Amino acid sequence: MMAAAFQPPAAGGGGEMGDCKDSKHCHDHHLCKLVKRDDLEQVKKLVKDAAFFCKKCGRAAREKDNLCDPSRI
């Protein structure tokens, strides 16, 4: 049986791209902030060999500290 593909939450439902799980804990090193700032060179470094994905926006990163709501892949 094939696993269902991950789909990020629908826009407007509290899971929009760039919104942290808890905005008080959204840090400058989170992918959502780096993408908003168009820091794509830094984003490329952080997503290479991803081991975690964000349950909030669906982004993936090598380190869980770069995601708002991380879960191991």
Digit-coded pLDDT (tens) for 22-65: 555 567 778 888 888 888 898 899 999 999 999 988 999 999 99
Locate the domains of the chain by residue range.
Answer: 27-72
End-to-end CA distance of the chain: 18
Question: Strands 60-61 and 52-54, how do they pair?
Answer: antiparallel
Owner of token pair 């990163």: 61
What is the structure's pLDDT at 35?
82
Owner of token pair 């470094």: 45
